[in-house]
Structure 1
Amino acid sequence: MSRTMLINVTQAEESRVAIVEDGLLEWIEIETGSREKLKGNIYKGVVENINSSLQAAFVRFANGRTGFMPLDEVNFRTFPPRRRGASGRSGSGKPRISDVLKVGQEMLVQVTREQFARKPPSLSTFFSFPGRFLVLLPGSDSSGISRKIEDEAVRERLKKSLKELAVPEGVGVIVRTAGLDQTKTALARDMRYLLRLWGQIEKAAAQAKAPSLIYRERDLVLRAIRDLFTPSIKEVLIDDEETYKRALAYFKSIMPGKQKRVTYYSGDAPLFSKHNLEDQIENIYKRQVPLKSGGAIVIDTTEALTAIDVNSGRTRESTIEETACRANTEAASELARQLRLRDIGGLVVIDFIDMRSRSNIRAVEKTLRDAMRQDKARHDMTRISKLGLLEMSRQRLRATTASSTYQPCKECEGNGVVRTVESSAVALLRRIHARCARGDLARIKVLLPAEVASYLLNRKRDELIRIEQRYETEILILAQPGMRAGDLQVDVELRSVAGTGEHKAARGEEPRVTHSEMDESRERDEKRRRRGRKRRRNGADEVEGGEQTLQQAAPSGAAPAAALPDESRDAPAPPEEAADSAPPARGRRSRGGRSRTTRKRPVRTRAAAPAAPAAGGEDSSTDTAGTPEAVVLPAESHRQENPAEVGTSPVPGETERDAESEEKSARPARRRGRRGGRGRRGGRGRKQAGAPAADAAAGEAGGEGAAAAATALPATGPVSGQDKTPAAAESPTREESSADPAVGSSLV
């Protein structure tokens, strides 16, 4: 059984060291120049934070790097507790981390484990310096023999050799497997070298400022020769001349008798290709590893554990039990090799094929245990359970081989799968619908991969149009070439940014009703309902069509009375057409079946200013006969009109307050009157024209005041059939004079 060590360092970006046994790859380590190696380095750090719940400290040991150091990794010889007798969390007698360390304290630490996934590097104050034959343990008084040396006679001999060595106090020594056959002189020489190294580290740490690097571990080539070279390795091949000289010098200083095994390789074919290692290295990164019998093992690594499944594949035996036993036995040997090559650490769960025979189960367990003996990492394994599962815990010596040469996929973000085009399109459509439903978007633009955009525009066009029409939002779908699957870019434009209501109206959009306008509309409607109820109780005219005009019988010589404005979207009528635009007087049915009228109470208002000239150029606000007339103020439109065109409006709220106070002070006198025909609510009385209504009002007031009251009566109510007069035909209907539907009809 020949073993060969191959060292490939022809490329500066990557160095590789492999051990081959009978043409089969048994061990490999790859070191890249882009990734800094931390394990084994010694730093002078600063305690950055102390977590009492975890009983651990976080130490900043380099710029931008923080390591995790639990209480078990604190050497109490170097850092004694400040308070004696302080008990630990569970009464174990250990001091608390806060009694040993404090924030801002400088300390010397060594990296014991590389950063893995989102876990920070692990730090320790128990230092270890491996040599060729010994391991030096500063700060410890214990010495021992490697656990891999199982022969008791050899262990006793090595213990005697350790006692004869002049080991300083406060320093421990462990004999490595390579020192099994070494003499006392070789062991003493290795120990003196390690003691000199520790002394230099202490001097450098005393002068350095934290955080800083104090000692860097050897590079891959010298580290592999120091840790992996054994007498079973017959040859060391190196394809770089400079690296060959460095390795030869190391052999001369540490192992003078083995320097003849170091050879410089200068062949035409690449070193690894000559030994057929490239294909074997590529299989390390594959998820499925084939077996010679036709079966396979599938390895899936997660952050919590590594799951390994054994499949029989094409393995066929006489019985199912024999097939399962053969596949499991072959998989057990290959599993131990894959764990070493991939350097899989942590918890490992192996799902073997179910077997019924106890002897077969024990045979598979023995095969796996024997194969794991060649592993340098510490490990612990259980038996195969009744479910066919075997659990194993393995020490992680370094970063996994795949992590140093591979990076997570940007397309799937390391998941291994991507979403289908149909699912991506439907999910995006839901997001667009949910965002537009808020009602504050004027425009939304989405950049998508070409496949998803094409699916939306061809298969989901109707849904997009319905969303646009329902929420009045412009949706723009654009294909972005080169965009990865699952990525998207969304740009939204809010209505407040898109433009004002006038700009929206210019684009053919209805101005959006704000909450303040809706509240004002509700308040006006409530006031209108309250006033209507009061006037009905006092015998006033009922509110019809959302409009009401207060009429006043002005006595002779009195000032012109003003009518309250209403909120109509139509333009105000000229004063000479006031009689045509006044609503007809409504009748109320008396006890005898005849209609009766209600006397209108005079309302104290401010005198209205003269209205603007009519279209014909005449001043319609002046009575040429000297008879005072009632002035009808123009209706207030939803859109603000020019006061110069419609005349002066009364002070808002004053007319209403005066009317309410007057109605409370005097009860209106009711007088029965006679009308042509029997008035009925909603019947003929509602169809009365403007002239008969004016005569009835004039009969109540009497004299010249009656004529003035007749002039003040507008005729804006709807008429129908043959009862329609020319004056009423020109008046707008109730539908035409209704308030803006966006705000709601209101009456002041």
Structure 2
Amino acid sequence: MSEEILINVTPRETRVAVVENGMLQEVHIERAAKRGYVGNIYKGRVQRVMPGMQAAFVDIGLQRAAFLHASDIVRAFQGMVAEGDAAPPPLPSIQELVREGQDVVVQVVKDPIGSKGARLTTQLSIPARYLVLLPHTKVLGVSVRIEDETERNRLKELLQGLIDEEPMGYIVRTNAEGQGEQAMLEDLDYLHKAWQVVEESMSDAPLGSCVYEDLSLPLRSLRDLMRDDVEKVRVDSRETYERMQQFMARFLPDMVERLEHYPGERPIFDLFGIEDEIQRALQKQVPLKSGGYLIIDQTEAMTTIDVNTGAFLGHRNLEDTVYRTNLEAAQAVARQLRLRNLGGIIIIDFIDMIDVEHRRQVTRQLEKSLSRDHAKTTVYEFSPLGLIEMTRKRTTESLERQLCEECPTCSGRGSLKSVDTVTYEIFREITRAVRQFEAATLLVLASPKVVAKILEEESAAVAELEEFIGKSIRLQADERYGQEQYDVVLL
């Protein structure tokens, strides 16, 4: 599997595209006016303690107060603990952990999404290339994505020997697989320096200030996305290229030659067809090569994905046609989840299959296709209703919510009132207006489509209404009016 990372930099926006075998898999966007907060550490103050929610709201200087749950407040661990070796102590009540007006140092683990404020933790962590520093928790862990038990034990013993009696904890990241002592030492050196800066900043930082900010998107991409199968990293900004080169020389010296500056006149995203893919990722319908298609609906509570056979007729029988469509859909769903950055609860309505083995194979195909996803995913077996339920960890807004805003015409409903509905609303508004105000004539301003409907099909109804109210009604089309918009003016 060949993989490339393409980085497009403009003065106010940076975009990163992950391309596998020529196909776009992920898009990350960072805008200067609205940088994400995940990973940032703030000095905040508790505004309200909510016992019923076992949580507190904390002012960290953002537009909305951030949310801190009792389970995200650090409690001291005694001794060195390896994952799975000991159960955490019982969770105390929120009143025992924080009080209103208390100053706290917190880290953002989830950006503000929709109407919800940022999600916080006091369990601070600072990531490097291969390790994550946990300054307040003496834990030694290894990423569950490293499945080989021998390698897990090797990394754990290696790190244990390097940190000795350090009073801080560490997690070994997936990228550390196969790495040696020198790589670990470099990461430890970086993390110690970073934590020293944070400690110095915390002591005299004003309330609501950021004491540690995560790397910019291009450098984060190198830290989090670079793997052995990434063949090239192309960036179209000379300045960003030089910063990335310095970063790689320090942390990824073996991969420096994979970084390239793209000097071409044609935009890098146009050259690789990324712009068209992004536009398609904003559509509800996703065509499949077989002729079937997906319908993706993102709501506040969950995302639903419906699989349809469409024009695919198959060659053998209905069960075989459905099975093949579902297998293809499982791969497409995994890609769309990454591409659109969809998170939370996801319900997939595959086409009904009778064969139990076919169901099992579709589930396995979905899990296999999700294996390269950087976000944590959990897939459950088919439900009695033939649905697959799954979750995908969400830390930032989806692609659609980053790039789009609520439709001002339908107010986010995704549908418009029909012309007939608006016509009858206008008739009711006319009746309501003449009962309240005196006027000889009423002027109706509406969209051309609505006015044309009234004049062509409802002229008799207008005549009856004029006779009923004893007033004259004039109609005027205005291109500036949306289909649902109208005004009744008294003349």
Tell me the TM-score normalized by structure 1. Answer: 0.60
Please give the alpha-carbon distance, in whole angstroms, between the structure 2 residues aligned to 1:39 and 1:221: 15
Check if 1:379 corresponds to 2:369: no
Q: What does residue 20 of structure 2 align with?
A: 21
Please give the alpha-carbon distance, in whole angstroms, between the structure 1 residues aligned to 2:300 and 2:140: 36
Question: Contact conserved, 1:433 with 1:467, CA < 8 A, in 2?
Answer: no
Q: What does residue 5 of structure 1 align with?
A: 5
Please give the alpha-carbon distance, in whole angstroms, between the structure 1 residues aligned to 2:472 and 2:46: 56
In structure 2, the CA distance between the partners of 1:29 and 1:442, relative to structure 1 (3 Å rule), is same
Q: What does residue 225 of structure 1 align with?
A: 222
Q: State the shift of 1:65 in Å.
A: 2.6
Q: What does residue 596 of structure 1 align with?
A: none
Per-residue deviation, residues 7-66 of structure 1 (Å, max 9, x unmatched): 121x22332212222212222212233433111112212212222211111112115331
Q: What does residue 201 of structure 1 align with?
A: 198
Question: Contact conserved, 1:284 with 1:341, CA < 8 A, in 2?
Answer: yes
- Given the alignment, which residue of 422, 425, 437 partners 1:424? 422
| 1:322 partner letter | D
Question: Contact conserved, 2:70 with 2:91, CA < 8 A, in 1?
Answer: no
Per-residue deviation, residues 239-276 of structure 1 (Å, max 9, x unmatched): 11111101100011112222111111223433233333
In structure 2, the CA distance between the partners of 1:427 and 1:136, relative to structure 1 (3 Å rule), is same
- Given the alignment, which residue of 283, 307, 317 partners 2:315? 317
Higher-Rg structure is 1
Q: What does residue 66 of structure 2 align with?
A: 67
Q: What does residue 343 of structure 1 align with?
A: 341
Q: What does residue 394 of structure 1 align with?
A: 392
Question: Contact conserved, 1:43 with 1:211, CA < 8 A, in 2?
Answer: yes
| 2:4 partner letter | T
| 2:30 partner letter | E
Report the 3-state secondary structure (helix = DSSP H, G, I; strand = E; otherwise coil) of the residue aligned with 1:187.
Answer: helix
Please give the alpha-carbon distance, in whole angstroms, between the structure 1 residues aligned to 2:351 and 2:200: 58
Per-residue deviation, residues 286-307 of structure 1 (Å, max 9, x unmatched): 2111112221111111111111
| 2:236 partner letter | D
| 2:194 partner letter | L
In structure 2, the CA distance between the partners of 1:70 and 1:225, relative to structure 1 (3 Å rule), is same
In structure 2, the CA distance between the partners of 1:49 and 1:442, relative to structure 1 (3 Å rule), is farther
Please give the alpha-carbon distance, in whole angstroms, between the structure 2 residues aligned to 1:208 and 1:442: 65
Give the strand-richer structure, 1 or 2. Answer: 2
Question: Contact conserved, 2:338 with 2:373, CA < 8 A, in 1?
Answer: yes
Structure 1 gaps, min length 5: 79-91, 494-748
| 1:337 partner letter | R
- Given the alignment, which residue of 151, 176, 180 partners 1:183? 180
Which protein has greater RCO, CA pairs closer than 8 Å, 6+ apart?
A: 2
Per-residue deviation, residues 596-626 of structure 1 (Å, max 9, x unmatched): xxxxxxxxxxxxxxxxxxxxxxxxxxxxxxx
Q: State the shift of 1:283 in Å.
A: 2.0
Q: State the shift of 1:360 in Å.
A: 1.1
Q: State the shift of 1:230 in Å.
A: 0.7
In structure 2, the CA distance between the partners of 1:485 and 1:104, relative to structure 1 (3 Å rule), is farther
Q: What does residue 441 of structure 1 align with?
A: 437
Question: Contact conserved, 2:47 with 2:101, CA < 8 A, in 1?
Answer: yes
| 2:275 partner letter | E
Q: What does residue 105 of structure 1 align with?
A: 102
Q: What does residue 589 of structure 1 align with?
A: none
Q: State the shift of 1:200 in Å.
A: 1.3
Identity of aligned residues (%): 35
Q: What does residue 143 of structure 1 align with?
A: 140
Per-residue deviation, residues 148-195 of structure 1 (Å, max 9, x unmatched): 000011011011112112266542101111111221222122112112
Check if 1:468 corresponds to 2:469: yes
Q: What does residue 286 of structure 2 align with?
A: 289
Please give the alpha-carbon distance, in whole angstroms, between the structure 1 residues aligned to 2:418 and 2:48: 45
Question: Contact conserved, 1:131 with 1:190, CA < 8 A, in 2?
Answer: yes
1:106-185 matched pairs, under 5 angstroms? 106-166=103-163, 169-185=166-182
In structure 2, the CA distance between the partners of 1:301 and 1:93, relative to structure 1 (3 Å rule), is same
Question: Contact conserved, 1:31 with 1:404, CA < 8 A, in 2?
Answer: no
Q: State the shift of 1:129 in Å.
A: 1.1
Tell me the TM-score normalized by structure 2. Answer: 0.90
| 1:441 partner letter | F
1:68-87 matched pairs, under 5 angstroms? 68-77=67-76
How many aligned residue pairs are there? Answer: 474
Question: Contact conserved, 1:468 with 1:475, CA < 8 A, in 2?
Answer: no
In structure 2, the CA distance between the partners of 1:322 and 1:454, relative to structure 1 (3 Å rule), is closer
Structure 2 gaps, min length 5: 78-88
Q: What does residue 506 of structure 1 align with?
A: none
| 2:331 partner letter | S
Q: What does residue 57 of structure 1 align with?
A: 56
Q: What does residue 189 of structure 2 align with?
A: 192
Please give the alpha-carbon distance, in whole angstroms, between the structure 2 residues aligned to 1:338 and 1:442: 58
> Which range moved further: 404-413 or 121-130?
404-413
Please give the alpha-carbon distance, in whole angstroms, between the structure 1 residues aligned to 2:453 and 2:3: 59
1:179-578 matched pairs, under 5 angstroms? 179-315=176-312, 316-434=314-432, 436-437=434-435, 440-443=436-439, 447-453=445-451, 459=459, 460-466=461-467, 468-469=469-470, 479-489=477-487
Q: State the shift of 1:407 in Å.
A: 1.8
Please give the alpha-carbon distance, in whole angstroms, between the structure 2 residues aligned to 1:166 and 1:342: 40
| 1:6 partner letter | L
Q: State the shift of 1:435 in Å.
A: 5.6
> Which range moved further: 342-351 or 406-415?
406-415
Please give the alpha-carbon distance, in whole angstroms, between the structure 2 residues aligned to 1:5 and 1:48: 42
Please give the alpha-carbon distance, in whole angstroms, between the structure 1 residues aligned to 2:282 and 2:325: 22
Q: State the shift of 1:93 in Å.
A: 5.0
| 1:405 partner letter | L
Question: Contact conserved, 1:35 with 1:404, CA < 8 A, in 2?
Answer: no
Question: Contact conserved, 1:377 with 1:397, CA < 8 A, in 2?
Answer: no
Question: Contact conserved, 2:249 with 2:256, CA < 8 A, in 1?
Answer: yes
Q: State the shift of 1:399 in Å.
A: 1.6
| 2:232 partner letter | E
